[in-house]
Amino acid sequence: MVDDDPADLKFLTTLIAYYGYDFETATNGLEAIERTKETNPDVILMDVLMPGMNGIEACKRLKEDPETQHIPIIVLTAFGDKEMKIECLNAGANDFLSKPVDNTELIARIKNFLQLKYLEDVKIRNEILTETIKAIENAKREWEQTMDCINDIVIITDAKDNIIRCNKMITTLTGKPYSELLNCKWQNFVRESSFTYKISNSGDIEMYHPSGRWFNYNIYYTKKLQMTLSCL
C-alpha cells in the first residue's frame, strides 16, 4: 500500500488487516519500487499524488521492470476524471478506483486479482508437472530402447524376486508379452522356458536356453533393496 497521507494509509492498513491480508507500506513512488522488489507482493495499492516520485511514474517503472511487471497495480486517487484514469492505465495500472474508496469494492478488486494470481500459479505448476512427466516418460522410453537393443537378458526385480522391469530379450525367449511377465517371479519364467544351468570351474553360474544360447548369471543389489538380475 503506497500513500503519503497518514490518514489514508491508516485507513487502508486497518481495512486490509481486518480481512486477514499481510501488507507492507510505502509513502512515495521510489520507496514503493524498493519495497516491491524486497517483498514481491501479490497486489499493489498505489496513490497518485505523492512527493518525490508520484504514483504514475512508479507504476510505469514497475511495469517496465521484468521482475515486477507481473504484479497487478490498483491506482487510488481523489482525481477521478477521465484524463487521469487514461494516464494511469497508460502507465500500466491494472485497475483504477476513486477516493474515497468504497470498502466492499476495493476488497472485491483485491480478491479478483488474488484469484487470477492463484489460477496463474496453478497453470504454471501444471506446466512444470507436465514437463516433468514428459521428461520421465522420455527417460523411461530411452531406457527401454537401450535395454531392448541389448542381446542379453536384463531383469529388475523387487526384494521378493517379482519382475518390475525387463528387456525385450525376455519376451523373445519366453514367448510371453511384457505385461504377463510383470509382477511374476523371475525363477518361474526361467523354469517355464526350459532353462538349465551349470556351475563352471571358476564358480560362475551359466544358464543354457534350448535356442542354443548360454548366459552368465549375475545379480546386483540396489540401495532400496530391489534386485537387478542380469543374465549376460
Per-range mean pLDDT, top range of 100-104, 108-112, 208-212: 108-112
**Cα 124 to Cα 111: distance, rounded to the nearest angstrom:** 20
Q: pLDDT value at position 232? A: 47
Strand ranges (DSSP E) for the chain?
44-47, 73-77, 95-98, 153-157, 163-166, 196-199, 205-209, 213-221, 227-231
Q: pLDDT value at position 209? A: 87
Mean pLDDT across the stretch 75-84?
80
Mean pLDDT across the stretch 57-76?
93
Mean pLDDT across the stretch 205-227?
78
Q: What is the mean pLDDT of the chain?
A: 87
- pLDDT band per the 50, 70, 90 thresholds, residue 227: low
- pLDDT band per the 50, 70, 90 thresholds, residue 229: low
pLDDT(115) > 90: yes
* Span 172-196, pLDDT tens digits: 888 888 888 889 888 887 888 888 8
**Beta strands 95-98; 73-77: pairing state:** parallel
Per-range mean pLDDT, top range of 31-35, 119-123, 204-208: 31-35
Q: pLDDT value at position 80? A: 65
* Span 138-164, pLDDT tens digits: 988 888 888 888 888 888 888 888 888
The residue among 36 and 169 whose pLDDT is bigger is: 36
- pLDDT band per the 50, 70, 90 thresholds, residue 231: low
Identify the three-state secondary structure at position 221.
Answer: strand
In this structure, the number of other CB atoms found within 10 A of the CB of residue 9 comes to 18
pLDDT(223) > 90: no
Domains recognised in the chain with CATH numbers: 6-124 (3.40.50.2300), 150-231 (3.30.450)
Dihedral sign computed on CA atoms, order 113, 117, 122, 124: positive
**Cα 45 to Cα 33: distance, rounded to the nearest angstrom:** 12
Mean pLDDT across the stretch 111-125?
91
Q: pLDDT value at position 175? A: 84
**Beta strands 44-47; 73-77: pairing state:** parallel
pLDDT(197) > 60: yes
* Span 31-65, pLDDT tens digits: 999 999 999 999 999 999 898 899 999 999 999 99
